[in-house]
């Protein structure tokens, strides 16, 4: 019987691992790849940034990036990310990518089996994390080549997967990306570190008295030793094994859970009382849209017709809402689109030549629906109440309240990570008083180690949790974490 009453109690069946990674998406996979002994080295070729080349060449060629000063290497870099080590790895992996160039990587990855760090990666489903849950028919925002991880070129993998290699300027299907990550784990020899079908319910520190490792000098002998490090207890259950409980004890925990566990809510009456038709994710919405087509898209003899039903209400002005509009229009369903601002910025986020479908939605939003049949835009409106009989009460900018009957409602206004399993006092965000939000309030981490600042030692966060919201930038966090873990291991070994 497990005893949870004592804060430092550990179940007798606990397994020790040096590192436990929570989350098996691309962030977790990237960390595992490094901890398995795959280390990056600068290949000596010049980078277009001459100052970066000079810094890289200052170190012996036999020294991996994991053994170098990441603060020194990443200084002065700029790009579409706020984290300097992420910019460094992106600059080396995709030199001048933001200028439209496709230059070869300046990194060579060498496997050192002797430098393996024993670890386990815990994920609810197959490797790939949230990518396995997304609508597979949607195209990625990033280019396909920017979705790849070290050692397995995405376009080469496409030929292995039975298709043709895509062009460098093409986006990829989400379903292809999901298969790529699953195949990547096997191809790179990482499968033995992955425990899929695992739900983490608790991450808590043990021996809470030490929040950081400290050097202690014996006053009599003058001998310097290191205080006991904080240990972490990670518990959960295995859905692939009849929900059998598991427990790991480790010196380090890496949070790699992504950003989409908890959809944002409007917090209006009735929103959570009608889950069969008030939805908060695109994949469930698509299933509902197909049901509407099946129900309303046939005449009495069963012959296909244009669906004739109440409109589908879509709330939001981001990319998920745009995908929902595209999905509903594809099925010829009427749309009622509600969003907060009159002037949206959807057109400024993405170039029109690469994202024509999103620019079409922007045109519809700007037009208000006058030139688009079966589409009505409601800018600056807000929902007041949702009733069980499919009636939604909507308030216009001038305060007028109207009721509309809808067949379904999709509330797509963003999401946030679920860190409810993390048992820590205090706030972990950059803005401590606010909940964690991967875009506006990520976890506050040290920029060069990705250690969580307001937490006991040994806790790290990367990927969207640390503000790296695109796959091409997650390598920086993985390298920073692996580098710090190896330096800490070396430090404790010496002591």
At 217-259, the pLDDT tens digits run 434 444 443 444 689 999 999 998 899 999 999 999 999 998 8
pLDDT of 40 strictly over 90? yes
Work out the angle between the directed axes of helices 26-35 and 174-187 (0-180°, nearest 10).
20
In the prediction, which pLDDT does 36 show?
97
**Whole-number Å distance between alpha carbons of 261 and 420:** 11
**Whole-number Å distance between alpha carbons of 168 and 372:** 33
Residue with tokens 């990319």: 319
Q: Are 33 and 54 members of one domain?
A: yes
Span 77-81, average pLDDT: 88
At 407-433, the pLDDT tens digits run 999 999 988 898 999 988 668 999 988
Q: Could you tell me the end-to-end alpha-carbon distance of the chain, in angstroms, rounded to an integer? A: 38
Q: Are 336 and 467 members of one domain?
A: no
Span 46-71, average pLDDT: 94
Domain boundary among 413, 431, 455: 413
Q: Please, which residues have CB within 8 angstroms of residue 24's CB and are 6 or more apart in sequence?
A: 121, 122, 123, 124, 125, 126, 127, 128, 129, 194, 196, 256
Average pLDDT, the chain: 87
Q: Are 238 and 284 members of one domain?
A: no
Percent with pLDDT over 70 in the chain? 87
**Whole-number Å distance between alpha carbons of 153 and 187:** 11
In the prediction, which pLDDT does 233 show?
96
Is 10 inside any structural domain?
no
At 86-110, the pLDDT tens digits run 999 999 999 988 887 788 999 999 9
Q: Are 68 and 199 members of one domain?
A: yes
- Dihedral sign from CA coordinates of 27, 29, 31, 33: negative
Kindly give the residue spans of alpha helices, DSSP state H, lying in 302-355.
319-330, 346-349
In the prediction, which pLDDT does 86 show?
96
Q: Are 175 and 110 members of one domain?
A: yes
| Domain hosting residue 461, numbered range | 15-260+417-494
In the prediction, which pLDDT does 257 show?
94
At 185-203, the pLDDT tens digits run 999 999 999 999 999 999 9
Residue with tokens 């930038």: 473
Is 3 inside any structural domain?
no
Helix or strand holding residue 314 (H, E): strand 312-315
Q: Would you list the DSSP string of 253-295?
A: EEE---S-SEE-----TTTTT-TTTEE-SHHHHHHHHHHHHHH
Which segment, 67-76, 160-169, 370-379, is predicted with the most confidence on average? 67-76
Closest CA to 343 of 315, 368, 322, 324: 368
At 120-172, the pLDDT tens digits run 999 999 999 999 988 888 888 888 888 999 999 898 898 887 766 666 668 88
Is 8 inside any structural domain?
no
Q: How far is CA 57 from CA 41, 61, 268, 422, in A?
A: 11, 7, 58, 42
Q: Are 382 and 431 members of one domain?
A: no
Is 87 inside any structural domain?
yes
Is 1 inside any structural domain?
no
Q: What is the CATH number of the domain that holds 256?
A: 3.50.50.60
Domain boundary among 413, 443, 476: 413
Domain count, the chain: 2
Closest CA to 406 of 299, 276, 269, 277: 277
More confident residue, 434 or 53: 53
In the prediction, which pLDDT does 218 show?
39
Closest CA to 282 of 139, 383, 172, 138: 138
Helix or strand holding residue 408 (H, E): strand 408-411
Residue with tokens 């229009």: 329
Q: Are 106 and 35 members of one domain?
A: yes
Q: Are 145 and 21 members of one domain?
A: yes
pLDDT of 349 strictly over 70? no
Residue with tokens 């070290």: 150
Band (397; pLDDT cuts 50, 70, 90): very high
- Dihedral sign from CA coordinates of 240, 174, 413, 312: negative
Which segment, 342-346, 375-379, 480-484, is predicted with the most confidence on average? 480-484
Lowest-confidence segment of 40-44, 144-148, 231-235, 296-300 by average pLDDT: 296-300
Is 199 inside any structural domain?
yes
Q: What share of the chain is helix, strand, coil (3-state, %, to 5)?
A: 30, 25, 45
At 468-478, the pLDDT tens digits run 999 999 999 99
- CB 384, CB 401: distance < 8 Å: yes
Span 258-265, average pLDDT: 86
Q: Are 254 and 112 members of one domain?
A: yes
Q: Are 441 and 400 members of one domain?
A: no
Hey, which bits of 86-189 come out as E strands?
A: 107-111, 119-123, 139-143, 171-173
Span 270-280, average pLDDT: 95
Is 4 inside any structural domain?
no
Q: Are 150 and 246 members of one domain?
A: yes
- CB 201, CB 164: distance < 8 Å: no
Span 350-374, average pLDDT: 83
Q: What is the pTM of this model?
A: 0.87
In the prediction, which pLDDT does 356 show?
87
Band (491; pLDDT cuts 50, 70, 90): low
Domain boundary among 381, 413, 445: 413
In the prediction, which pLDDT does 451 show?
97
Is 9 inside any structural domain?
no
Q: Are 141 and 233 members of one domain?
A: yes
pLDDT of 368 strictly over 50? yes
**Residue 119 in 3-state DSSP?**
strand
């Amino acid at each position: 019987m497990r005893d949870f009453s004592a804060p430092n109690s550990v179940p007798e069946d606990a397994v020790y691992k040096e590192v436990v990674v929570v989350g098996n998406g691309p962030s977790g996979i990237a960390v595992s790849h490094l901890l398995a002994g795959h280390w990056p080295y600068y290949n000596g070729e010049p980078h277009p940034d001459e100052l970066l080349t000079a810094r890289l060449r200052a170190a012996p060629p036999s020294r991996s990036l994991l053994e170098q000063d990441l603060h020194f290497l990443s200084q002065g870099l700029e790009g579409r990310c706020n984290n300097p080590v992420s910019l460094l790895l992106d600059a080396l992996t995709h030199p001048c990518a933001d200028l439209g160039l496709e230059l070869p990587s300046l990194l060579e990855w060498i496997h050192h089996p002797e430098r393996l760090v024993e670890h386990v990666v815990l994920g609810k489903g197959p490797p790939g994390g949230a990518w396995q849950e997304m609508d597979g028919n949607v195209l990625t925002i990033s280019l396909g080549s920017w979705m790849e991880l070290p050692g397995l070129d995405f376009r080469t993998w496409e030929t292995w997967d039975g298709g043709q290699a895509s062009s460098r300027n093409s986006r990829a299907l989400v379903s292809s990306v999901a298969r790529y990550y699953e195949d990547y784990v096997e191809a790179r020899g990482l499968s033995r570190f992955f425990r899929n079908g695992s739900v983490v319910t608790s991450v808590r520190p043990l021996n809470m008295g030490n929040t950081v490792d400290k050097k202690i000098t014996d006053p009599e002998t003058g001998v310097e030793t290191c205080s006991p490090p904080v240990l972490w207890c990670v518990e959960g259950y295995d859905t692939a094994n009849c929900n059998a409980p598991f427990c790991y004890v480790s010196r380090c925990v890496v949070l790699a859970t992504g950003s989409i566990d908890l959809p944002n809510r409007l917090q209006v009456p009735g929103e959570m009382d009608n889950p069969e038709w008030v939805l908060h994710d695109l994949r469930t919405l698509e299933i509902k849209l197909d049901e509407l087509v099946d129900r309303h898209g046939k005449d009495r003899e069963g012959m296909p017709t244009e669906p004739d039903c109440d409109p589908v209400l879509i709330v939001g002005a981001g990319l998920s809402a745009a995908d929902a509009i595209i999905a509903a229009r594809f099925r010829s369903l009427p749309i009622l689109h509600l969003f907060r601002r009159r002037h949206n910025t959807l057109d400024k986020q993405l170039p029109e030549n690469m994202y024509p479908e999103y620019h079409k939605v922007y045109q519809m939003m700007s037009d208000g629906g006058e030139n688009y049949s079966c589409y009505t835009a409601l800018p600056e409106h807000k929902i007041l109440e949702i009733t069980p009989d499919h009636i939604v009460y909507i308030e216009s900018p001038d305060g007028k309240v109207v009721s509309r009957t809808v067949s379904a409602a999709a509330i797509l206004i963003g999401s946030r990570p679920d860190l409810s399993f993390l048992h820590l006092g205090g706030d972990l965000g950059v803005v401590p008083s606010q909940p964690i939000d991967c875009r506006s309030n990520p976890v506050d981490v040290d920029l060069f180690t990705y250690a969580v600042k307001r937490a006991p030692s040994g806790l790290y966060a990367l990927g969207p949790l640390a503000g790296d919201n695109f796959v091409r930038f997650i390598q920086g966090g993985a390298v920073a974490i692996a580098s710090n873990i190896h330096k800490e291991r070396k430090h404790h070994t010496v002591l």
